[in-house]
């Protein structure tokens, strides 16, 4: 690969602040494919080109739990080439190249979205923005900051904290990128008090396929359209965003109710009160039942609950004054704090499947009780035990999540459960809910989007991407295999009547589905993985959420996702499917510090390092291992500033500095 290897070439001199600079360079695979070769021949600065099939494979899915065979029948999810730009000029050059070749460009942040927005449907160039991760400026006086959009919310918040500041709002997936949340939902933690993300963004930099780099302010007609545009308009490369002083004191409160209607009455009264909580969320009794099982003890009552977070002393007193006359008792503070901390780990319960599927819609609060009742009844008919979460918003609506545990390892059960999630969404939309995101998997519901929003996006598309280069074959129409037939079959035109018919004949539909699928919730604590079967189990338990990527020192050095826990588990799955992997792929997998930072942040709380041992044994058997490269890598990584930063953050618990074991094959 010309100049786009690992090490020196990834961090060219022109990059403003390369993460590391000195000798380590891992073996790189030869460039593959004519498109990648053509791109490489342009000699674009600040660009790493990924063309080898093993590394490209990692870009053929996001967090979505869709049955693999379905994905492969319908789409060509494998990108022709992946690029990792380090500057907006590199992004601009890549988009111009894509436009000149009439090839689609698919932006990708951390691929934590479950809707398939960053996954190709008919090949193309995936633009991985996670290396554009600089925090350019923090201005405490003005209460604003400027960042590149590949920065993760957690890293951004960490830097703000050093200056006594914090974010207004963030997604629960704090490991996802700033650009990813702008391009998708924008609703999450603190949306009740701070509103939609667009309220905090002051201006944004957008690179369009003609190569222009524009700064859009709130006054620009296209500004609003960028939010939720899912990569249709261009690539957001920079953002100026307002931030605030970190509150000195925050206190979560947990209040239980006998039924969900009473919980909603309480939450709505609280929302309209003088308390002004930062966040209000409803959690269903079914979730507490699973949490108790996870904790091995009945710590929580199995009832419906409202969890509310209050910031500052004055608000705390107002909350107490609000609660007193209701006669309700709140739970002990440590239980409320436990639940509040769990907001960053919403996927832990997927272990019981392993797997998690469901629906995510925005619902007016007036129809919320009806929405819960109807989806609960439907889940019951379909043999599902749903968990509900409702995040209250500032505009009289709620973000409703209806989830259930499924067995990702059982193709039939899993496929049936995926269809069930569509039926639940369809029922919710029938009664007035709106889809939260479209991506690929909610395309059947794209006609339920707010008309004004779609028109705004269409107008902006015409102005900014008239050739249809950006993330084409999604959102407005869906491409796929068989001359687009795969996508057409998935369109609202065909799917809407299909769902309607299935719901109309529910007694028959549900009987068929129940007979085809059978979920035996798995027991937990199976012990550390020791065999290839254990490894496959762990790989299935992985949510593919990408939380581990952002903290992996090996990744921060080589920028190749194959070294991360998510990458290693995808490699394990490929091996289990009997796929052939190159020697270079195998060698790359060994680059690991055994630092356990991935375990610290793992959404599924997996025993990753033990799994890596099993994987490495298998790879060593197939390809041998390059001991020298591993040792060189460990030495280099230990001395890197990125590693120091992780130690400072308390993420590296398994690795004493210098002379650690693990990846060196001891």
Ligand X SMILES: Cc1cc2nc3c(=O)[nH]c(=O)nc-3n(C[C@H](O)[C@H](O)[C@H](O)COP(=O)(O)OP(=O)(O)OC[C@H]3O[C@@H](n4cnc5c(N)ncnc54)[C@H](O)[C@@H]3O)c2cc1C
Query: Chain centroid to CA 543: how far?
Result: 10
Asked if residue 250 lies in contact with residue 481, where contact means CB atoms within 8 angstroms, the answer is no
Report if residue 405 touches ligand SF4, rule: CB under 6 A.
Answer: no
Report if residue 565 touches ligand SF4, rule: CB under 6 A.
Answer: yes
Give the range of 231-239, 366-374, 502-510, 626-634 binding ligand X by CB under 6 A.
231-239
Specify the residue for token string 């554009």.
Answer: 132
Among 75, 156, 181, 392, binds ligand X (CB under 6 A): 181
Q: Which partner, ligand X, ligand SF4, none, binds residue 108 by CB below 5 to 8 Å per kind?
A: ligand X
Interface pattern 87-126 for ligand X (x via CB under 6 A): -------------------xxxxxxxx---xx--------
Asked if residue 152 lies in contact with residue 175, where contact means CB atoms within 8 angstroms, the answer is yes
Helices (H) and strands (E) in the chain, counts: 26, 18
Walk across the sheet containing 105-108 and list its strands.
47-50, 81-85, 125-128, 105-108
Q: Which partner, ligand X, ligand SF4, none, binds residue 104 by CB below 5 to 8 Å per kind?
A: none
Burial class (CB in 10 A: 0-12, 13-18, 19+), 231: buried
Q: Where are the alpha helices (DSSP H) in 189-259?
A: 191-194, 223-226
Minimum CB distance to ligand X, residue 187 (Å): 5
Among 7, 185, 435, 487, binds ligand X (CB under 6 A): 185
Interface pattern 519-558 for ligand SF4 (x via CB under 6 A): -----------------------xxxxxxx---xxx----
Minimum CB distance to ligand X, residue 226 (Å): 8
Report if residue 222 touches ligand X, rule: CB under 6 A.
Answer: no
Give the range of 220-228, 233-241, 591-599, 617-625 binding ligand SF4 by CB under 6 A.
591-599
Minimum CB distance to ligand X, residue 647 (Å): 25
Report if residue 183 touches ligand X, rule: CB under 6 A.
Answer: yes
Minimum CB distance to ligand X, residue 377 (Å): 27
For ligand X, give the closer residue by CB, 382 or 399: 399
**Count of residues that interact with ligand X, criterion CB under 6 A:** 36
Asked if residue 346 lies in contact with residue 286, where contact means CB atoms within 8 angstroms, the answer is no
Report if residue 280 touches ligand SF4, rule: CB under 6 A.
Answer: no
Beta bridge partners of 165: 245
d(CA 457, CA 466): 12
For ligand SF4, give the closer residue by CB, 66 or 543: 543
From residue 350, alpha-carbon distances to 227, 299, 401, 540, 555 in Å are 29, 20, 14, 10, 26
For ligand SF4, give the closer residue by CB, 266 or 612: 612
DSSP state letters, 579-622: ----HHHHHHHT------HHHHH-TT---HHHHHHHHHHHHHHH
Burial class (CB in 10 A: 0-12, 13-18, 19+), 443: buried
Cβ atoms within 10 Å, residue 411: 13
Nearest CA to 6 out of 464, 558, 522 is that of: 558
From residue 539, alpha-carbon distances to 21, 313, 351, 576, 606 in Å are 33, 45, 11, 10, 9
Whether cis (ω within 30° of 0) applies to the bond prior to 603 is: no
Nearest CA to 408 out of 544, 540, 603, 569 is that of: 540
Minimum CB distance to ligand SF4, residue 437 (Å): 19
387-392 and 279-283 strand pairing? antiparallel
Looking at residues 245 to 274 of the shown chain, list those that interact with ligand X (rule: CB under 6 A).
Answer: none
Report if residue 596 touches ligand SF4, rule: CB under 6 A.
Answer: yes
Q: Which partner, ligand SF4, ligand X, none, binds residue 134 by CB below 5 to 8 Å per kind?
A: none
For ligand SF4, give the closer residue by CB, 428 or 545: 545
For ligand SF4, give the closer residue by CB, 91 or 387: 387
- Please count the CA atoms within 13 angstroms of the CA of 483 that sit on its side-chain side: 0
Report if residue 387 touches ligand X, rule: CB under 6 A.
Answer: no
Q: Which partner, ligand X, ligand SF4, none, binds residue 235 by CB below 5 to 8 Å per kind?
A: ligand X
Looking at residues 161 to 180 of the shown chain, list those that interact with ligand X (rule: CB under 6 A).
Answer: 171-173, 176-177, 179-180
Specify the residue for token string 């190749």.
Answer: 560
- Please count the CA atoms within 13 angstroms of the CA of 8 that sit on its side-chain side: 6
**Count of residues that interact with ligand SF4, criterion CB under 6 A:** 28
Give the range of 216-224, 362-370, 384-392, 592-600 binding ligand SF4 by CB under 6 A.
592-600
Looking at residues 334 to 353 of the shown chain, list those that interact with ligand X (rule: CB under 6 A).
Answer: 346-347
Among 190, 200, 471, 564, binds ligand X (CB under 6 A): 471
Asked if residue 335 lies in contact with residue 300, where contact means CB atoms within 8 angstroms, the answer is yes
Among 57, 83, 236, 281, binds ligand X (CB under 6 A): 236
Among 20, 74, 129, 154, binds ligand X (CB under 6 A): 129
Q: Which residues bind ligand SF4 (CB under 6 A)?
A: 542-548, 552-554, 564-566, 569, 592-598, 601-604, 606, 608-609
Q: Which residues bind ligand X (CB under 6 A)?
A: 62-63, 106-113, 117-118, 129, 149, 171-173, 176-177, 179-181, 183-185, 187-188, 230-231, 235-236, 346-347, 471, 545, 603
């Amino acid at each position: 690969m010309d100049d786009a290897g690992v090490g020196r070439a990834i961090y060219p001199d022109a990059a403003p602040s390369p993460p590391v600079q000195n000798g380590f360079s891992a073996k790189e695979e030869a460039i593959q494919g004519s498109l990648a070769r053509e791109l490489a021949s342009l000699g674009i600065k600040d660009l790493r080109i990924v063309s080898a099939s093993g590394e490209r494979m990692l870009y053929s899915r996001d967090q979505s739990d869709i049955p693999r065979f379905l994905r492969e029948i319908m789409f060509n999810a494998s990108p022709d080439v992946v690029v990792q730009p380090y500057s907006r000029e590199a992004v601009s050059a890549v988009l111009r190249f894509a436009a000149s070749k009439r090839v689609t460009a698919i932006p990708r942040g951390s691929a934590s979205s479950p809707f398939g927005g960053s996954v190709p449907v008919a090949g193309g160039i995936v633009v991985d923005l996670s290396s554009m991760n600089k925090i350019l400026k923090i201005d405490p006086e003005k209460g604003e900051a400027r960042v590149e959009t590949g920065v993760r919310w957690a890293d951004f918040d960490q830097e703000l904290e050093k200056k006594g500041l914090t974010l207004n709002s963030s997604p629960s997936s704090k490991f996802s990128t700033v650009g990813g949340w702008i391009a998708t939902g924008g609703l999450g933690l603190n949306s009740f008090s701070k509103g939609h993300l667009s309220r905090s963004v002051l201006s944004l930099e957008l690179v369009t396929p003609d190569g222009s780099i524009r700064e859009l302010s709130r006054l620009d007609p296209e500004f609003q359209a960028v939010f939720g545009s899912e990569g249709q308009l261009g690539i957001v490369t920079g953002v100026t965003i307002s931030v605030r002083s970190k509150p000195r004191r925050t206190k979560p409160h947990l209040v239980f109710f006998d039924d969900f209607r009473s919980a909603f009455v309480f939450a709505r009264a609280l929302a309209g009160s003088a308390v002004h909580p930062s966040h209000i969320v409803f959690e269903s009794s079914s979730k507490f039942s699973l949490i108790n099982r996870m904790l091995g003890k009945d710590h929580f009552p199995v009832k419906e609950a409202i969890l509310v977070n209050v910031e500052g002393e004055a608000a705390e007193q107002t909350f107490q004054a609000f609660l007193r006359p209701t006669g309700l008792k709140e739970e002990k503070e440590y239980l409320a704090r436990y639940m509040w901390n769990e907001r960053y780990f919403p996927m832990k319960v997927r272990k019981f499947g392993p797997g998690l599927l469901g629906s995510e819609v925005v619902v007016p609060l007036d129809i919320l009780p009806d929405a819960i009742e109807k989806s609960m009844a439907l889940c019951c008919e379909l043999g599902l035990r749903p968990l509900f979460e409702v995040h209250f918003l500032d505009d009289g609506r709620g973000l409703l999540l209806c989830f259930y545990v499924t067995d990702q390892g059982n193709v039939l059960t899993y496929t049936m459960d995926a269809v069930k999630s569509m039926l639940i969404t369809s029922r919710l939309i029938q009664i007035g809910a709106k889809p939260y995101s479209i991506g690929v998997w909610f395309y059947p519901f794209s006609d339920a989007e707010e008309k004004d929003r779609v028109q705004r996006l269409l107008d902006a598309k015409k102005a900014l991407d008239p050739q249809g280069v950006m993330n084409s074959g999604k959102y407005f129409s869906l491409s796929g295999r068989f001359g687009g037939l795969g996508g057409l079959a998935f369109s609202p035109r065909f799917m809407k009547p299909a769902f309607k018919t299935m719901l109309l004949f529910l007694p028959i539909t549900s009987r068929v589905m129940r007979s085809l699928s059978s979920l035996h919730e798995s027991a937990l604590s199976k012990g550390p993985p020791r065999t290839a079967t254990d490894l496959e189990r762990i790989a299935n338990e992985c949510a593919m959420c990408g939380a581990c990527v952002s903290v992996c020192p090996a990744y921060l050095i080589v920028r190749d996702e194959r070294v991360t826990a998510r990458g290693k588990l995808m490699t394990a799955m490929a091996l289990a499917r009997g796929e052939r992997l190159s020697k270079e792929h195998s060698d790359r997998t060994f680059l690991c510090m055994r630092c356990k930072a991935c375990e610290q942040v793992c959404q599924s709380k997996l025993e990753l390092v033990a799994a890596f041992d099993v994987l490495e044994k298998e790879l060593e058997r197939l390809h041998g291992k390059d001991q020298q490269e591993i040792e060189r890598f460990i030495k280099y990584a230990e001395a890197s500033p990125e590693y120091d930063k992780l130690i400072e953050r308390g993420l590296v618990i398994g690795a004493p500095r210098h002379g650690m074991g693990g990846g060196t094959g001891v």
